[in-house]
Amino acid sequence: MRERPGAVTVRDVAARAGVALSTVSNVLNRPQVVAPETLARVTAAINELGYVRNDAARALRLGQSRAVGMIVSEATSPFFADVMQGASAVLAGGGYSTLLGNATQDVDVESSLIELFESQRVRGLLIAPSSDVPAGLASFEKRGVPVVFLDVPAPDRDHCSVAVDDARGGAIAVEHLLAQGRSHIALVRGPRDLPQIRERSRGARAAAEAAGARFEVITTSSYFVQAGSEAAAVIASRSAGDRPDALFAVNDLLAMGTLTALIDRGIGVPEDVALVGYDDISVAAAARRPLTTVRQPARDIGARGAALLMAEMDGSGDHTHEQTLFSPELVVRATSIVRH
């Protein structure tokens, strides 16, 4: 056993095995060139000392890494959890590890994570940004490290991206509500002007205005379930004649929080207020009342983004950038249709 404290080094292994440092290096990197007897002796020393190879340090020396950074605007979101699973599975299949960063919808945190991953010399970066043009990406581009945008279109044609047509998603949500005979639409959203939310809001407003419907925005303190009670309180504080008769919540978490709080206040969904969410997260169908929502293919977004990144990382330099845009899909359930 090794008596002195500290991490076991290659020098320790060489000393225990009685060989040169270059021999240990060959065992670790080119074992086929080492004599079987020497290979066995060095391997035994490695096992006895508990030596663990420092691939991060090696990557820094060689300027080559098998780690990929992935930054999402909110890792606790079920939608982004599915995006991350889709991406990580593809990257793992290609022999890459994934370093995850949660920006918590904060552009300063996002910038710090970009800087951290740059210092780690990741091989590539997947980013679902909290801002239109994330700060700090110039250093990646200067080193030729590929960056792929997730859940938003790339800011230019020099990057790959995988996104959903969120403006169309907002429009089909409102068009569905209008088709149910609703005429006063309220959009429920959180405070941060995330790129995806801005597009959903734009599409929703355009659809309402094209139909001559009344449209308003109810802003809550966050994009999470508990903030839905704030939207419900606004609605409940009004007379029945002044309430919106339809809600489009920009994500399912807000929609489910609003749904529960409205029912608890004695307001019928969809009898008094029809409701549509966005994302089609796994629990949307199991909500207190199954939630009508706009589906976006979360795992496909992550998987396709990872595939594009690997193609660029492993390519010969003639990579053609691709901007994939999925179409959203309306999933009709109980919160928007009155059954007679």
CATH number of 10-53: 1.10.260
Residue 270 pLDDT greater than 70, yes or no: yes
Residue 31 pLDDT greater than 50, yes or no: yes
Among 243, 232, 234, smallest CA distance to 288 is for 232
8 Å CB contact between 289 and 334: yes
User: For residue 26, what pLDDT is reported?
Assistant: 85
- What is the pLDDT of the chain when averaged over all its residues? 92
8 Å CB contact between 263 and 254: no
How many angstroms separate the Cα of 321 from the Cα of each of 104, 133, 148, 308? 28, 18, 9, 8
**Residue for token pair 């995806």:** 196
DSSP state of 258: H
Residue 269 pLDDT greater than 60, yes or no: yes
8 Å CB contact between 176 and 276: yes
Q: What is the mean pLDDT of residues 250-263?
A: 98
User: For residue 186, what pLDDT is reported?
Assistant: 98
Residue 253 pLDDT greater than 90, yes or no: yes
8 Å CB contact between 138 and 74: no
User: For residue 27, what pLDDT is reported?
Assistant: 85
> In the structure encoding, which two tokens stand for residue 213, read together?
């419907």
Q: Is the dihedral of CA 7, 25, 48, 57 positive or negative?
A: positive
Phi, psi of 265 (to 5 degrees): -90, 5
Q: Name which of 64-68, 98-102, 268-272 the model is least confident about.
A: 64-68
User: For residue 2, what pLDDT is reported?
Assistant: 42
pLDDT band at 317 (very low <50, low <70, confident <90, very high): low
Distance CA 243, CA 184 (A): 8
Angle between helices 10-17 and 36-49 (to 10 degrees): 120
User: For residue 235, what pLDDT is reported?
Assistant: 97
Distance CA 60, CA 222 (A): 40
pLDDT band at 236 (very low <50, low <70, confident <90, very high): very high
Residue 60 pLDDT greater than 70, yes or no: no
Distance CA 56, CA 33 (A): 24
User: For residue 4, what pLDDT is reported?
Assistant: 43
Q: Do domains 65-164+298-327 and 166-296 have the same CATH topology?
A: yes
User: For residue 52, what pLDDT is reported?
Assistant: 76
User: For residue 119, what pLDDT is reported?
Assistant: 86
Q: How confident is the model over 119-157, as pLDDT tens digits?
A: 888 999 999 999 888 888 988 888 889 999 999 999 988
Q: Is the dihedral of CA 8, 11, 14, 18 positive or negative?
A: negative
Residue 169 pLDDT greater than 70, yes or no: yes
Point out which residues pair with 98 in neighbouring strands: 68
Its CATH architecture, for the domain 65-164+298-327, is: 3-Layer(aba) Sandwich (3.40)
**Residue for token pair 């002044």:** 242
Distance CA 211, CA 202 (A): 14
- What CATH superfamily is the domain 166-296? Response regulator (3.40.50.2300)
| For the chain, domain boundaries | 10-53, 65-164+298-327, 166-296
Distance CA 95, CA 249 (A): 39
Among 178, 128, 55, smallest CA distance to 305 is for 128
Residue 1 pLDDT greater than 60, yes or no: no
Q: How confident is the model over 207-225, as pLDDT tens digits?
A: 999 999 999 999 999 999 9
DSSP state of 154: -
User: For residue 58, what pLDDT is reported?
Assistant: 57
User: For residue 279, what pLDDT is reported?
Assistant: 97
Point out which residues pair with 101 in neighbouring strands: 71
What is the length of the chain? 340
Q: What is the mean pLDDT of residues 21-44?
A: 87
8 Å CB contact between 150 and 90: no
User: For residue 3, what pLDDT is reported?
Assistant: 42
| 64 SS3 class | coil
Q: pTM of the prediction?
A: 0.82
User: For residue 339, what pLDDT is reported?
Assistant: 82
Annotate 235-256 with b (16+ C-beta within 10 A) or e (fewer): beeeeeeebbbbbbbbbbbbbb
User: For residue 159, what pLDDT is reported?
Assistant: 93
| 3-state class percentages of the chain: helix first, strand second, coil last, to nearest 5 | 45, 15, 35
Q: How confident is the model over 9-20, as pLDDT tens digits?
A: 888 999 999 999
Distance CA 179, CA 213 (A): 12
